[in-house]
Amino acid sequence: MVIVFCWGLCYNLKYANYDDYHAENREYKKIIEYKQNIEKLSQNQKCYDFILRGLYSYMDKYWSKKIKKTIPYTPGEQPKDKNILKLNTNENPYPPSKRATDAILGLDTKTLRLYPDPSCADLIKAIADCYDLQPGQVFVGNSSDEILAFSFMAFFNPGDTITFPEITYSFYEVYASFFGLNCCKIPLDGDFNIPIDGFFAKSNGVIFANPNAPTGRLIPLEGVRAILEKNKNNIVIVDEAYIDFGGESSTGLIDDYSNLLVIHTFSKSRALAGLRVGFALGNEGLIEGLNRVKNSINSYTLDRIALIGAEEAIKDVEYFDNTRKKIINTREKTTKRLLTMGFKVIDSKANFIFISYPNINAIEIFKKLKEKNILVRHFNKQGIDNFLRVSIGTDDEMDCFCGKIGEIIKDLE
C-alpha cells in the first residue's frame, strides 16, 4: 500500500510542472506532508528509505545524482521545551569547566572581526601536552564528525572497502556511501560483542567506535593491538568519543603503529557539545593528510570562542576527572537498579546504557517515556530495535528516570 502510494506521488511529481510547485507554496507544503505521512505509514526502515529515495528524486531538479541517492544521518532530537528530561544524545549532564567558561566570557569581542588562527597552535599544543605527544601528532576540527569525514576523504579512494561493525555509529555507513566506498560489516554476537577477527578480513581500512555505540561495549587494549597487527598496511581509525568513561585509550599505541588514528571529542567527557570541537591523534603523516583535506575545504574550522574554550577545558584535568567519575558512578548505580527491575542492561563503558525489557517492546516504552517528558533514543534497526539507549544524567535525573520507567513497566505488563 505504501509503495503504491509513493510511486503514485512520484509519477505525479515527475510529470507536473516543477516550477508550479514552487510558485504555489501550498503545493510545496503538500510534498512535505506526503513525506510526513509516509514516515508514519512505514514501519520498515528499508521500505522507508526506498520510498524517500523515490520522493526526493523529484523534489529538486538541481540536486546531483549523489545527493539524490543519499540517505543522511539522523541526529537525536533537540527539544525546545526546557522541562523535558533529555537522555537521548549522550551529552554531559554537568556544565563545562569553569576555566573554559571564564575564558569564553573574558574574550575580547573586538577580536571577533579577525579570523581565528588557522593552525590552532595553542589548542594543539595543549592537547599534545595532555597526551604526551608532539604537536605534529595532533589535528583539531569542528567536531569529531568532521574529522571522521576528513578521514574518509584522506585515507580512502572511491571503490575501496572499509570494515566496521554491523551495529555501530550510523555515520560510518553514511560517509562510506557518500564517498563511494564499499562496506564490509562485522556481525556482532548475541550480547553485542564485536569479534575482533572480523577486522582481519582483507579490506582497505578499518574503523570502529570504542566503546561501541549504541551498545557501550568495549574492545580491550590487547584487542585493539591485535587489530593493528593484522592491518599493518591499512589505516585503523579508533573513534574514542566515549573512552573516558571506563576504557583504556589506544593513544599509548600511536608511537608503535604508524597506521593508527585515534579520534576524540570535547562533546562528551568535557561537556562542550555546543562548541563543536574534536581532535585526532596519530603519526605526523596521517595528521598531514587530514590537514590537506581541511585546507582544501575550510582553513578556519574552529572559531575564536571554540579555540579558547577548548584549550582551557583540556587543561582543567581536575574538573575533567571529577565529572567523568561522577558519571561512571551514576551509570553503575542506575545499571544495578534497572537489573533489579528485570531489565537487560548491556555492560557499558560509555556515558550511556543500552537496555531492553523481556516482555514489552522497546518502542512502547519509548513512547510512554516521551509522554512523561523523558527522551531516550530508539533505533529502528534490525537487531537493536527492541533496545533503548539511555544517556546518563545526574543522580537526581536518573532517579527520576528509574521511577518513571518503573511506573511504565507496571502499567504495560
d(CA 85, CA 93): 11
Assign 80 to helix, strand or coil. coil
Q: Judge if 17 and 138 occupy the same domain.
A: no
Q: State residue 334's pLDDT score.
A: 98
Q: Rounded to whole angstroms, what are the CA distances from 413 to 172, 337, 357?
A: 37, 19, 11
DSSP 8-state code for residue 113: G
Q: State residue 82's pLDDT score.
A: 80
d(CA 67, CA 309): 35
Residue 315: Cβ within 10 Å count: 18
Q: Judge if 136 and 283 occupy the same domain.
A: yes
pLDDT digits (tens, 9 = 90+) for 110-137: 999 999 999 999 999 999 999 999 999 9
Q: What is the CATH number of the domain that holds 338?
A: 3.90.1150.10
| Closest by CA position to 383, among listed 99, 187, 175 | 187
Q: State residue 72's pLDDT score.
A: 84
| Closest by CA position to 180, among listed 268, 65, 93 | 65
DSSP 8-state code for residue 260: E
| Closest by CA position to 389, among listed 218, 162, 169, 179 | 169
Number of domains in the chain: 3
| Residue 77 belongs to some domain of the structure | no
pLDDT digits (tens, 9 = 90+) for 207-225: 999 999 999 999 999 999 9
Q: Judge if 15 and 161 occupy the same domain.
A: no
| pTM score of the predicted model | 0.86
Q: Judge if 243 and 109 occupy the same domain.
A: yes
Q: Judge if 155 and 261 occupy the same domain.
A: yes
| Residue 78 belongs to some domain of the structure | no
| Residue 79 belongs to some domain of the structure | no
Q: Judge if 259 and 392 occupy the same domain.
A: no
Final residue belonging to a domain, choices 315, 335, 359:
315
Final residue belonging to a domain, choices 270, 287, 315:
315
pLDDT along the chain (413 residues), means of 10: 46 42 47 55 56 62 84 82 92 98 97 97 98 98 97 98 97 95 96 96 96 98 98 97 97 98 98 98 98 97 98 98 98 98 98 97 97 96 96 98 97 90
Q: Judge if 54 and 195 occupy the same domain.
A: no
Q: Judge if 17 and 104 occupy the same domain.
A: no
Residues 6+ apart with CB under 8 A from 136: 284, 287
Q: What is the CATH number of the domain that holds 218?
A: 3.40.640.10
Q: Judge if 275 and 329 occupy the same domain.
A: no
Backbone angles phi, psi at 158, to 5 degrees: -55, 135
Domain that holds residue 234: 98-315
| Residue 74 belongs to some domain of the structure | no
Q: Judge if 122 and 42 occupy the same domain.
A: no
Q: Judge if 258 and 125 occupy the same domain.
A: yes
Q: Judge if 240 and 274 occupy the same domain.
A: yes
